[in-house]
Structure 1
């Protein structure tokens, strides 16, 4: 355990000055990705139309999620028979729509910047390598040829290790966000239109 920890410390030390920003960026990246994963939970796998009909039958979704919350808000407004329902739905759903977009920009920024920081470390390491070649110092206080090459490789690796997984997970979450936005728009259309069989369903439920 001690040896592994020491190897990690040596690894980050050899990476040079770009390693602390990359480590901080990694922590922020995965915290924000985790937040978006939680925010993008729909609470149900059913379509908006099915959700509305089940709601009318009194079969409320038991899990919490963005689609369940907007359904409750939307049906509550619809039952009030307010004029210009679409505008009220836009206002009621805006909080949820903002929530599913939260931290998207921060994630994109980190995914873009991380490889550039790695490249900066690579350039810095190569400069140190060429300077050491000038006086043929394989090892020196500043790192020498070996230290320069080590820094160049480590920072490149770290930058890509931060960026690539973040890019993949972010892409999956962005696709899920788009699907939720489409479903919210469909739910608005359903709530603003007459629902076939609504009166019969409500009467059966009340009997």
Structure 2
């Protein structure tokens, strides 16, 4: 059995094979998955129950889930509805503005990085092909600048890395955007239900 290969040496060889584009793609990967992880935690709805079901449970004396942006917003909305009746809609809009902004956080960052990664991979491909054609003109298989083998390696590895970064990022972005849209609808529904409930109570009191 031969000596064990150093995984860090293999990684260094892989990164160096892609030229100067590879370290940039590595940094983009780290930034992308930090942003995705942040949004994944942030967009935790907290429960599978609908807003109407949660509100009905509160009316029957049940407690709201402790975690999640939607139960937190509903809790805040209920508190406002108990203290303010006349201008409830405006107060809910102001109170939920922070939630509306929070669910958009890092959304553009994720979209930008997902779009930039394959373009950088393409840039590496172009650079690799240029190196290859230059080496073909000199008939240099290996050289200090890379040669034919180095050019082909740069073209292949950067394209591969760009797709490895972008494809999972696109899938994660799609899931997170769907969560964001659902939470946005939930916040709007909370406003409508609470305002409707207060209006119904006011109608009963006047009759």
What's the TM-score, normalizing by structure 1? Answer: 0.91
Equivalences for 1:25-40 in 2 at 5 Å?
25-40=28-43
- Aligned position for 2:119: 116
More displaced 10-residue stretch of structure 1: 7-16 or 50-59: 50-59
Deviations 1:125-180 (A, max 9, x none): 00000000011110001110000000000000001111110000100110111011
What's the TM-score, normalizing by structure 2? Answer: 0.91
**Equivalent of 2:158, from 155, 158, 168?**
155
Say whether the 8 Å CA contact 1:44–1:63 is kept in structure 2: no
Q: Which stretches in structure 1 are left out of the alignment for 5+ residues?
A: 199-207
Name the CA shift for 1:186/1:65 in 2 (closer, same or farther; >3 Å).
same
Deviations 1:53-104 (A, max 9, x none): 2122221123310001101110000001332211100111111111111000
Distance between the aligned counterparts of 1:83 and 1:195, measured in 2? Answer: 9
Distance between the aligned counterparts of 1:150 and 1:88, measured in 2? Answer: 60
Say whether the 8 Å CA contact 1:44–1:61 is kept in structure 2: no
Say whether the 8 Å CA contact 2:85–2:198 is kept in structure 1: no
Q: How many residues align?
A: 198
Three-state SS of the structure 2 residue aligned to 1:73 is helix
- Aligned position for 2:183: 180
Distance between the aligned counterparts of 1:93 and 1:134, measured in 2? Answer: 64
**Equivalent of 1:49, from 49, 52, 60?**
52
Say whether the 8 Å CA contact 2:64–2:75 is kept in structure 1: no
